[in-house]
Amino acid sequence: MDERTHSPARTVPGCEAAPAESAQGQPARRSVGSLSTHEARTGTQAVGRARRVSVTDPIAAARRYDYADAFELRLEGPDPCSPEEWVRAGVDATPTWIKRIAGNPDGLGSARIVESDADVVVLQDSDPLMDTVMVGRNVGPGRRVLTTVLRYRRPLLARAVWAVVGVLHRRTARRVVTGGLGRGCRSGDAFLEAPPVGKPR
């Protein structure tokens, strides 16, 4: 993976994994963003799998960054979830072992929600190696985009760590952007009963 420093004018090239093969040797059709039986009965199912796209979010691109990626999911109908709701649902659905490797076994962990409304959620986190900004955005009624931006505090060590952890991050980001599909995301749903990570401002 190319870990060169990126400016907002550049985008990060995609790193798509090859599809698994079925027993008949044909590419498997189901993927992270594909539909469950329940989702197929709703009016908000995904059109296709989550895919990597260019980094264009204005919040993410407002400052220089060392690494950035973005994943998009298109829906066939209006999205029942706000960005905070689908991010929370997607993180909750991430396997525990991945969250432990990421250093956040409880999910969003120390991340602070600094903005949250019907269109966008912005989360920030920092550790000794890097500062992280994650932006979940509903782009119109049927399109979600999850953008992650890193700014390295210790560039040499951070690049070495991200070369490994980044592989899991990109797999997890595809899960997160599909969060809440087929479950209904409005207030009162089970996965929103946990205490909030931070207060919007």
User: 54-178 belongs to which CATH class?
Assistant: alpha beta
CA dihedral (27, 93, 68, 51) positive or negative: positive
Cα–Cα distance measured from residue 177 to residue 70, given in angstroms and rounded to the nearest whole number = 10
- Does residue 11 carry a pLDDT above 60? no
Question: What is the residue extent of each domain of the chain?
Answer: 54-178
Q: Give the pLDDT band (50/70/90) at residue 98.
A: confident
The answer to whether the beta carbons of residues 51 and 173 sit under 8 Å apart is no
pLDDT tens-digit map of 156-181: 999 999 999 999 899 999 999 999 88
pLDDT for 141 equals 85
Is residue 110 within 8 A of residue 45, CB to CB? The reply is: no
Stretch (H or E) spanning 183: none
Say whether pTM exceeds 0.85: no
Q: Pick the residue with more confidence: 171 or 21?
A: 171
Q: What is the percentage of the chain residues whose pLDDT exceeds 70?
A: 63
How does residue 95 score in pLDDT terms, banded at 50, 70 and 90?
confident
Tell me: the pLDDT tens digits for 28-46? 333 333 333 333 334 457 7
- Residue-wise pLDDT tens digits, 111-159: 899 999 999 999 999 989 999 999 999 998 899 999 999 999 999 999 9
Are the beta carbons of 31 and 22 closer than 8 angstroms? no
